[in-house]
Amino acid sequence: MTRRVLLATGNAKKLTELRRIIADCGMDLEVVSLKDIDPYPDPEESEWTFEGNALIKAREGMVHSGLPALADDSGICVDALGGMPGVRSSRWNGPEQEDIANLELVLRQIEDVPRGRRQAQFVAVMALVMPDGREFTTRGEMAGHLTNRPKGSRGFGYDPIFVPDEQLPDAEGRLRTAAEMAAGEKDAISHRGRAVRAMLPIVARELGLPVPEGLHVEPDTVPGADREGPAPTLPASEWTAQIPAVQRPESQPAARPTRAAGPTSGVTPLEP
């Protein structure tokens, strides 16, 4: 039986990504977009944590749709910038800024940072708010480093300047940016892919659907699953879950998947 959830985001690329991951997991879940419900004002993302902002968006989506609502908050945390842009990633160059303006500002801010000290992490938190007020969050991270110029035309956001650590070099011994990866390859290691795959067993349990194969979760690990939920005004659950990357097919080289051979200081081989 198909169940429906709302993804409370106006980002069409995030919607496509979530639907793709759910389809890859073989889950019979219909993801409704904001275009499918009556419009409502964008909530103010006033929190200083990814968890807080994700819950703000999911709560508003649930209230205005009456459906279980998913929302994510994500961003890039650059070591040389003290963990910023963080929750300000989509507005780093000011309100309503486009991806290219945001990433160009980050590159200007770290242009004097040596190649071996340009580490960064993508972080994503997925929130689920149920109509009875129960709330759940899951978190995913992807470590890597920043290039000195954009590369690749896939993905979105800061993908063109972010080189994930968890990848195998190509035939030329080069590591790629997230924007140079195929969609499925990126989903397998990405921060949002991890957060979504950690959330799907919770969604399955809450909606009475089979848990996707390979993503099983013990019933007792799902907070609130066997009791009455709190009123929506109560503090959100602080429970979080993490999930590793998707296992690589056996046909791929048996190299260590976590880092490429060579320096571990964040240097991209053969990067100009």
CA-to-CA dists, residue 78 to 147, 171, 200, 267, angstroms: 12, 29, 28, 15
Is 11 among the annotated ligand-binding positions? Answer: yes
CA-to-CA dists, residue 219 to 107, 117, 195, 201, 204, angstroms: 45, 42, 19, 10, 11
CA-to-CA dists, residue 271 to 31, 80, 115, angstroms: 39, 20, 10
Is 14 among the annotated ligand-binding positions? Answer: yes
Catalytic residue, from 28, 36, 73, 187: name it: 73
C-alpha Rg value of the chain to the nearest Å: 19
Is 65 among the annotated ligand-binding positions? Answer: no
Q: Are 145 and 166 in contact (CB under 8 A)?
A: no
Is 45 among the annotated ligand-binding positions? Answer: no
DSSP for 86-131, written as a single string: GGGGGGTTSTT--HHHHHHHHHHHTTTS-GGG-EEEEEEEEEEE-T
Is 40 among the annotated ligand-binding positions? Answer: no
Is 72 among the annotated ligand-binding positions? Answer: no
Is 13 among the annotated ligand-binding positions? Answer: yes
Check if 24 is active-site.
Answer: no
Is 192 among the annotated ligand-binding positions? Answer: yes
Q: How far apart are CA 147 and CA 223, in angstroms?
A: 40
Is 145 among the annotated ligand-binding positions? Answer: no
Is 133 among the annotated ligand-binding positions? Answer: no
Is 186 among the annotated ligand-binding positions? Answer: yes
**Element (H or E) spanning 162, and its range?**
strand 162-164
Within a 10 A sphere around the Cβ of 138, how many other Cβ atoms? 26
Is 182 among the annotated ligand-binding positions? Answer: no
Q: What are the beta bridge partners of residue 69?
A: 6, 129
Is 157 among the annotated ligand-binding positions? Answer: yes
Main-chain phi, psi angles of 91, to 5 degrees: -125, 25
Is 137 among the annotated ligand-binding positions? Answer: no
**Element (H or E) spanning 15, and its range?**
helix 12-24
Which segments are annotated as binding site for substrate? 9-14, 74, 156-159, 186, 191-192
Which segments are annotated as binding site? 9-14, 44, 73-74, 156-159, 186, 191-192
Q: Which residues are catalytic?
A: 73
Which segments are annotated as binding site for Mg(2+)? 44, 73
